[in-house]
Amino acid sequence: MTSMGRHYEDFTVGDVYQHPLGRTITEADNTWFTLLTMNTNQNHFNADFAARAPYGRVIVNSGLSVAIVLGLSVGDTSQNAIMNLGWEQIRLAHPVFVGDTLYAESVVLAARRSRSRPYAGIVTCRTRGLNQDGDTCLSWERSVMVYTRDADQDKGYFPVAKDGPLS
């Protein structure tokens, strides 16, 4: 069976993960996300309007920036999570523009066994998103509940083929 991501036992306080993928944000990404989420601030989708604002161009919806950086971090921090428990200290430090590429890195701040769920632990990480120039665009602290390596709940979910093994 193939396994992805870290289980509770794989986290050590102080470990830093430079998540391996980057993601360039396109105009379509920004427009679709903005309209999908019913965000009517024209700075996110009206170039003529945004040209008059302080940055002089369309700024990427911060919800999309957060979602992309979160997604970039999942493989290392929460691939085996049961649930998010909390987000704190979300900071939007630098604007993100169409054409920027976001990267993410995380540091493990805390890890402890769950008191109520013997098959899980709680891990807290600080994550930041950097653009292609190395500017910190956003950051947060996030706590997640993660399965332990011996948990049953995240195993045995792949279906058995009715026509037998692949050969």
The rounded distance, in Å, linking the Cα atoms of 58 and 86 is 30
Predicted structure pTM score: 0.91
Walk me through the domains of the chain, giving residue ranges and CATH numbers: 9-147 (3.10.129.10)
Q: Residue 23: what are its φ and ψ, rounded to 5°? A: -140, 120
> Which pLDDT score, from 0 to 100, does residue 156 have?
81
Q: Is the pLDDT of residue 47 over 90?
A: yes
**77, 44 Cβ separation under 8 angstroms:** no
Supply the pLDDT for residue 2: 52
Choose among 83, 93, 97, 98: nearest CA to 153: 83
Instruction: Report the distance separating Cα 48 and Cα 44, nearest Å.
Output: 11
pLDDT, average across residues 12-36: 96
Judged by average pLDDT, the poorest of 14-18, 94-98, 153-157 is 153-157
Q: Which range (13-27, 102-116, 143-157) has the least confidence?
A: 143-157
Average pLDDT over residues 136-154: 94
End-to-end, the C-alpha distance of the chain in Å comes to 16
